[in-house]
Amino acid sequence: MTDDVVKARRDVLGANMVLADDACGHLVSAVHALRELWFGGPGLTGTAPSRSVMEGVGYLIERIDAEAERVRHHIRFD
């Protein structure tokens, strides 16, 4: 491969890593917003969901958060 091709591949890989990192950031923000909605953010009123629903949503939130962090951990910037 020529140096130009190698550089172009690195540029594309770098851009994809930035997009993946941004996506992880948005996902984590969405997870935290969902947590606030389900677990009583400021100014929320109404009936609370059942304990089993809260536990299920809590588990889902933890898994999404962990997966986003796992993806972010594998992003390497050279």
Q: Domains of the chain: which residue ranges?
A: 3-74
* Helix H or strand E encompassing 14: helix 3-38
Those residues whose C-beta lies under 8 Å from the C-beta of residue 48, and which sit 6 or more positions away, are 40, 54
pLDDT of 14 strictly over 50:
yes
CB 67 within 8 A of CB 16: no
User: How many angstroms separate the CA atoms of 53 and 61, rounded?
Assistant: 12
Which tokens hold the place of 68?
């986003």
Mean pLDDT of 9-29: 76
The per-residue pLDDT for range 48-72, each reduced to its tens digit, is: 667 777 787 778 778 877 877 777 6
